Chain A
Amino acid sequence: MPALIVSLLVLVLCQLLGEWLVRSLGIPLPGALIGLVLLTVALVVLGRVPQALGKVSGGLLRNMMLLLAPAVVGLIDNMARVREEWLPFLVACVAGALITLAVTGIVLQRLLRTAAPHAGEQA
């Protein structure tokens, strides 16, 4: 049990450190992203993932959709604005997503097959 609390604390402290760095250095990135980098470096130094940290992180990540839902609900306040320019807005989002998915997926798969055969295949 204490290990789980310590794991949560580690995640929160990484974010806090990230926020602090972002603010004091004026980096235009979210603090949590810097926290992600910091924790990755810490894991590389440590050389393994502590079991409790893996458990806590897995739980949070598996339920990320619940955590994002309140932001998505914000759509309700911007419906009027979207209605004004709905055509360029919707087509750009939808077609843009299709093009980006297709180009990125195809390019990376081709590159992986030529540069490092079989690298991406073992799941």
Chain B
Amino acid sequence: MIAADLMAVPAPFSSWASFALAAALWIAVTCLAYWLALRLSRRMKGNPVFVPVATTSLMVMAVLWISQTPYAVYAPATKPLNWWVGPATVAIAIPLYGQLERLKRIWKPLLIALLIGSVVAMASAIAIAWALGGSWQTLMSLMPKSATMPIAMPMSERFGGLPALAAVAVVITGVFGTVISHPLLRLLKVTDPAARGFAIGLTAHAIGMARELQVNPTSGSFAALAMGLNAIATAVLMPLALAWV
């Protein structure tokens, strides 16, 4: 059984050779788009509208659309690239360790902010979607949208949502939250890098964290902390909240 799994070629490819070719091609396209996106972001002096994850994805989508390549081919081909999200998530331990002394001093405010933020993220999403006439499936797909994808997809599915729709909600929230975060927080006079990073990581999960890590190591590590904690909080609070329904 396991041996068969280990030997299996990824779904839409007929042989390892064609998979290797597709992987090389689509990873190269993605890396090239990312390189262009970084240059564009620098040219625009870090303007958040040009957050590289969004521009990279848009360029890749354009290439897929022009070449009529289905996502079902692109996704397994770029799996070797996407796979590194796992080790990169583990690597968050390093900036986190750098903040440990400070965490020990301020764990109480962080815990309170986490609980409030996590509940607000879930409640605001379903309240708004419900008021605008969203179906139960939409509500449940939206509820865990501030958690990272590997948490949000199974959580929404468990309560009648659609995992693919949850993934879309996670992406929109992450990209929009990242784009709007700095202007909004500046407007609200949230200047403390710890508070800023924590709010961004809690709201915009890995995408927000990725940007904060590029901008400022302090807010980056608090974003990482908030992302991790909100993933756990969402997994715990969502079933509790829905137990009353």
Contact = CB atoms under 8 A, between A and B. Distances in A.
Given A43-B97, A61-B88, A88-B134, A29 B235 contact: yes
Nearest to B217: A123
Given A75-B61, A119-B102, A96 B145 contact: yes
Chain A interface residue bracket vs B: 35 or more
A121 B218 CA distance: 10
Nearest to A69: B56
Contacts of B54: 72
Given A12-B87, A18-B90, A92-B142, A81 B168 contact: yes
A107 B109 CA distance: 9
Contacts of B106: 112, 115-116, 119-120
B97 A71 contact: no
A32 B195 CA distance: 25
A31 B86 CA distance: 8
B22 interface: no
Contacts of A95: 124, 128
B168 A32 contact: no
A123 B81 CA distance: 32
A68 B53 contact: yes
A17 B84 CA distance: 16
Contacts of B168: 74-75, 78, 81-82, 89
A43 B164 contact: no
B93 A36 contact: yes
Contacts of A96: 121, 124-125, 128, 142, 145-146, 173
A74 B75 contact: yes
Interface in A58-117: 58, 60-78, 81-82, 85, 87-109, 111-113, 115-116
A65 B85 CA distance: 9
Contacts of B81: 66-67, 69-70
B188 A102 contact: yes
B216 A89 contact: no
B88 A111 contact: no
Interface stretch (B1-9, B13-21, B26-34): B26-34
B84 A105 contact: no
A74 B57 CA distance: 9
A69 B34 CA distance: 8
B133 A100 contact: no
Contact of B100 (A44, A81, A107): A44
21 contacts: A60-B88, A61-B91, A61-B213, A64-B206, A67-B82, A67-B85, A70-B60, A72-B175, A78-B168, A81-B162, A85-B134, A87-B132, A87-B133, A88-B142, A96-B142, A98-B184, A100-B121, A101-B204, A102-B188, A104-B120, A123-B218
Interface of B: 30-31, 33-34, 37, 51-54, 56-57, 60-61, 64-65, 71-72, 74-75, 78-79, 81-82, 84-98, 100, 102, 105-106, 108-110, 112-113, 116-117, 120-121, 124-126, 128-135, 138, 142, 145-146, 148-151, 154-155, 162, 164-165, 167-169, 171-173, 175-177, 180-181, 184-185, 188, 190-196, 198-200, 202-204, 206-207, 209-211, 213-214, 216, 218, 220, 226, 228, 231-232, 235
Interface of A: 8, 11-12, 14-15, 18, 28-33, 35-37, 39-40, 42-44, 49, 53-54, 56-58, 60-78, 81-82, 85, 87-109, 111-113, 115-116, 119-121, 123
